[in-house]
Chains A and B, each alone.
Chain A
């Protein structure tokens, strides 16, 4: 591309008839002429369809057949924001339950794995479901939790639950007695 008088060499992306830019279109949108045969683009069309559908299917199979990685709380770094991880440990004290307008809207409890502590949280319908189904672990219970990680710069990291199945209580230390507000 040299700076100089205006010249336009024809390219594969230009109409062979009117020499306007037509990109990957099969026919010129200006004069209707058929675009030159471009096997590279034709291959890319089919390759993109194949990659999009097959690739997504394989990614889906990989994702759904793989358990979230088990990590130690001490190994959490700020670079793990939004990571889907699994943690096992002991609930240090009774869960905290927040109520708003008469209903449960937030629950949380702290898990300790011997190397650090992590706050596990749930909001909205999930929080209500955990309380109504009496799934909240009591202090001292051994749990395995899976969720989305939010490392905090100041204080313990948070693990957000998205489904009740992501909380597995291995040994119950006693009846769940949430600390309500």
Chain B
């Protein structure tokens, strides 16, 4: 009974702490979990890491982060111009003084995602998923190549040089397309390097990709905030969210499909899943898009982690599951129900914290300004990378930041940076990853 009580406390505290940390721009939950694991390793010698309480803590922190990480991306992001039309309608809301509304709509989508996990995944997962995975596994490689092809081919020329004929027009149109392809290729090469000849010291190897992700996605965002001298925009104080049921259901379904696809198919991330589902289910308006992104994000992170505990399946998707796998946490039926309970409890805490933490962030941005918060976040991220992966990890993060800045500054999709995992893993799943690594001189 005492053990169960410890698990409940861990779930509640983990959800509250992760919800708060999710409001810090650029701080990813996998980085926090890595540092937590290192701290517990130092404290208990690793024994506590294989226990049920750590399972509850990990699941709860993942839920809290997935529900609340929209807050900094809405109030402190500096998007590129293509984002205005494609992936971040939250920015449009922010500019119209409706940032709070965007966060609440996205959180409503997240709640739909949690209900889908508790009401659909929980009863059906153990029966269906092992069978589906057995059928799908031999096909994962070509599914991945199709996703990559769709991702690259769905880019379009942002800058149309009207009235300019010939090569100049052609080059202007290909500018952002070319940068997109270059970004995918460079990040793919970085991925091969990290996978086959990582400069990260062995004792930090479980966080091999942390500096690359921090560099590709977090640092460019913060650097652009600093360079663009973004000033805070006044926000409305409205508390209500005009959200009708059809929008919630349509957006929620699209998000659950996208997030579920991303959680189940190896290497696909929540953003890519949401992007595919948005195309597949014809999402047109911003409200629906925000709901779908919220649902996709929660399903991707939480269901992806829960797949590790699904009886008969036990696949590790995402950084948290990979970490739990190495610590040897229990994977029996009790652990499956414990993980579900932790997810539900943490979901309740996170839902309750969305509104107050949004107000807190709005107040913090008003008090300190985007630039100061971005400087503080930059220092924090660099400290996390240094602590978790050492000086070499910092070097990797700096190089990755160079690659991550390309799409932001040249007007391409940031999603192309996912080449860091998509390219090497697609090659590996297809069986020719080592051959490519050998051709690159890495073996």
A residues apposed to B, CB below 8 Å = 1-9, 11-13, 21-25, 27, 29, 38, 40-41, 44-45, 47-53, 55-56, 58-60, 62-64, 66, 68-69, 71, 77-85, 124-126, 149-154, 162-163, 165-166
**Cα–Cα, bound, A18→B399 (Å):** 36
B side interface size, CB within 8 A: 78
Which residues in chain B, 399-428, are within 8 Å of chain A measured between CB atoms?
399, 401-406, 408-411
Q: Decide yes or no whether B333 CB sits under 8 A from chain A.
A: no
The chain B residue with its CB closest to the CB of A126 is B434
Closest 9 CB pairs of A and B: A153-B328, A51-B402, A55-B399, A83-B205, A48-B405, A1-B232, A63-B197, A83-B202, A52-B402
Q: Decide yes or no whether B114 CB sits under 8 A from chain A.
A: no
Q: Are B229 and A12 in contact (CB under 8 A)?
A: yes
Candidates B78, B95, B186; contact of A56 at CB < 8 Å? B186
Given A4-B234, A24-B80, A79-B38: A162 and B437 interface contact (C-beta under 8 Å): yes
Candidates A7, A24, A64, A152; contact of B234 at CB < 8 Å? A7
Q: Are B190 and A56 in contact (CB under 8 A)?
A: yes
Q: Are A52 and B406 in contact (CB under 8 A)?
A: yes
Given A59-B193, A150-B326, A153-B326, 13 other A-B residues pairs in contact with their CB atoms under 8 A: A1-B235, A3-B362, A23-B81, A23-B228, A48-B220, A51-B399, A64-B441, A68-B197, A77-B203, A79-B204, A84-B196, A124-B431, A154-B328
Give the shortest distance, in Å, between B4 (CB) and chain A (any CB): 23
Q: Are A6 and B96 in contact (CB under 8 A)?
A: yes
**Cα–Cα, bound, A48→B183 (Å):** 11
Q: Decide yes or no whether B39 CB sits under 8 A from chain A.
A: no
B residues apposed to A, CB below 8 Å = 37-38, 41, 46, 49-50, 75, 78-81, 83-84, 91, 95-97, 158-159, 186, 189-190, 193, 195-206, 208, 220, 223-224, 227-237, 322, 326-328, 362, 365-366, 395-396, 398-399, 401-406, 408-411, 431, 434, 437-438, 441-443
Give the shortest distance, in Å, between B434 (CB) and chain A (any CB): 5
Q: Are B81 and A22 in contact (CB under 8 A)?
A: yes
Q: Are B399 and A52 in contact (CB under 8 A)?
A: yes
Of B38, B78, B196, B205, which is in contact with the most chain A CB atoms at under 10 Å from its CB? Answer: B205
Candidates A8, A47, A58, A149; contact of B202 at CB < 8 Å? A149
Q: Are A23 and B362 in contact (CB under 8 A)?
A: no
The chain B residue with its CB closest to the CB of A150 is B326
Q: Are A84 and B197 in contact (CB under 8 A)?
A: yes
Q: Which residues of B contact A45 (CB under 8 A)?
A: 405, 409-410
Q: Which residues of B contact A151 (CB under 8 A)?
A: 326
Q: Which residues of B contact A5 (CB under 8 A)?
A: 234
Given A6-B96, A44-B409: A59 and B366 interface contact (C-beta under 8 Å): no
Given A6-B234, A55-B398, A79-B203: A1 and B362 interface contact (C-beta under 8 Å): yes
List, sorted by A's number, 24 A–B pairs whose CB atoms are closer than 8 Å: A1-B75, A6-B234, A13-B230, A22-B81, A23-B79, A25-B159, A40-B227, A55-B395, A56-B193, A56-B403, A59-B193, A59-B399, A60-B189, A63-B193, A71-B202, A79-B41, A79-B203, A81-B205, A81-B206, A83-B200, A83-B203, A84-B202, A125-B431, A162-B196
Q: Are B49 and A78 in contact (CB under 8 A)?
A: yes
Q: Are B409 and A78 in contact (CB under 8 A)?
A: no
Q: Which residues of B contact A21 (CB under 8 A)?
A: 79, 81, 84, 91, 95
Q: Are B229 and A11 in contact (CB under 8 A)?
A: yes
Q: Are B196 and A41 in contact (CB under 8 A)?
A: no
Q: Are A44 and B443 in contact (CB under 8 A)?
A: no
Given A4-B237, A27-B159, A64-B441: A11 and B228 interface contact (C-beta under 8 Å): yes
**Cα–Cα, bound, A23→B88 (Å):** 12
Q: Are A59 and B199 in contact (CB under 8 A)?
A: yes
Give the shortest distance, in Å, between B87 (CB) and chain A (any CB): 13
Give the shortest distance, in Å, between B214 (CB) and chain A (any CB): 14
Q: Are B395 and A163 in contact (CB under 8 A)?
A: no
Q: Which residues of B contact A3 (CB under 8 A)?
A: 234-237, 362
Q: Are B234 and A1 in contact (CB under 8 A)?
A: yes
Give the shortest distance, in Å, between B137 (CB) and chain A (any CB): 14
Q: Which residues of A contact B235 (CB under 8 A)?
A: 1-3
The chain B residue with its CB closest to the CB of A151 is B326
Q: Which residues of B contact A85 (CB under 8 A)?
A: 202
**Cα–Cα, bound, A45→B412 (Å):** 13
Q: Which residues of A contact B201 (CB under 8 A)?
A: 69
Q: Are A8 and B95 in contact (CB under 8 A)?
A: yes
Give the shortest distance, in Å, between B78 (CB) and chain A (any CB): 7
Q: Are B198 and A84 in contact (CB under 8 A)?
A: yes
Q: Which residues of A contact B327 (CB under 8 A)?
A: 78, 153
Q: Are B50 and A1 in contact (CB under 8 A)?
A: no
Q: Which residues of B contact A1 (CB under 8 A)?
A: 75, 232-235, 362, 365-366
The chain A residue with its CB closest to the CB of B179 is A49
Q: Which residues of A contact B78 (CB under 8 A)?
A: 13, 23
**Cα–Cα, bound, A38→B438 (Å):** 43
Of A40, A83, A149, which is in contact with the most chain B CB atoms at under 10 Å from its CB? Answer: A83
Give the shortest distance, in Å, between A20 (CB) and chain B (any CB): 8
Q: Are B228 and A48 in contact (CB under 8 A)?
A: no
Q: Which residues of B contact A51 (CB under 8 A)?
A: 398-399, 401-403, 405
Q: Are A78 and B326 in contact (CB under 8 A)?
A: yes
Q: Are A166 and B443 in contact (CB under 8 A)?
A: yes
Candidates A2, A24, A63, A166; contact of B408 at CB < 8 Å? A24
Q: Which residues of B contact A150 (CB under 8 A)?
A: 326
